Amino acid sequence: MTEVTREQHRGMAVDFYDPRGRRYDALITEVWGPQCVNVVYVNDVEGQRDNYGQKLLRATSIMHGSIQQAHGNYWLLRGEERPEPIHKSGETPETDSSLA
């Protein structure tokens, strides 16, 4: 499991997957725990610009892909494959009632 620290990972480029599962290039702006971060990424919707260019978006308290149960709203280190999410002790995806 990936564990991050402020000293080593703030400013690091990562892959962010939005709630719909779409991947974005992102930067870690803050580390809140071993797998919880804030990120900033570029809005790719044309026409959503500001005085500085294409608008920046932020996502906060994003969990690593190994912990997030949903198909989106998680982050991974560059080149990292998403492992199977961790389920409550003893439950599998087939028996985990929170996934129903």
Q: What is the pLDDT of residues 25-61, one digit of tens each?
A: 999 999 999 999 999 999 888 889 989 999 999 999 9
H/E element holding 83? Answer: none
Contact 9, 73 (CB under 8 A): no
Query: What is the chain's mean pLDDT, rounded?
Result: 86
Q: Which long-range contacts (CB under 8 A, 24 or more apart) does 88-97 make?
A: none
Where does the pLDDT of residue 89 fall: very low under 50, low under 70, confident under 90, or very high at 90 and above?
A: low
CATH 2.30.30 correct for 6-99: yes
